[in-house]
């Protein structure tokens, strides 16, 4: 799983996965990042933030988003799905390193790369 936002926070990882994740830096090409207001009180309580980063596909070579790739289990991926609010959609992408990963993107503009 590639994370560029709150899933990189230790508190969110402990609450979502029951453990601290270890990952490596990578980049998501062809996407741009913005911020989104979160209304779900459970997600706000877990992250401690009312606004979370969100990314949308642009297809432009000049756009990219830095983040971290984490190895997680299928069960942990299901927990991540439960953590993310409806505005996010999980898609498969190819990162700059060539690795394939799941990432949560703006559901309105979701497109696999």
Full domain range(s) for residue 52: 2-109
66 CB-near residues (< 8 Å, 6+ apart): 4, 25, 26, 27, 28
Structure-token match 């991540």, residue found? 80
- State the CB neighbour count (10 A cutoff) for residue 58: 15
The per-residue pLDDT for range 37-76, each reduced to its tens digit, is: 988 898 888 888 888 899 999 999 999 999 999 999 999 9
Query: What is the count of structural domains for the chain?
Result: 1
**11-29 tens-digit pLDDT:** 999 999 999 999 999 999 9
**What's 51's domain CATH number?**
3.10.490.10
């Amino acid at each position: 799983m590639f994370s560029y936002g709150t899933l990189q926070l230790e508190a969110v990882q402990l609450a979502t996965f029951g453990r601290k994740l270890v990952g490596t830096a990578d980049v998501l090409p062809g996407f741009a990042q913005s911020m989104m207001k979160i209304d779900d009180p459970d997600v706000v309580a877990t992250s401690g933030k009312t606004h979370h980063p969100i990314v949308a596909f642009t297809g432009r070579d000049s756009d990219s988003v830095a983040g971290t790739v984490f190895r997680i289990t299928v069960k942990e991926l299901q927990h991540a799905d439960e953590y993310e609010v409806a505005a996010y959609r999980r898609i498969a992408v190819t990162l700059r390193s060539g690795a394939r990963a799941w990432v949560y993107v703006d559901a309105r503009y979701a497109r696999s790369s």
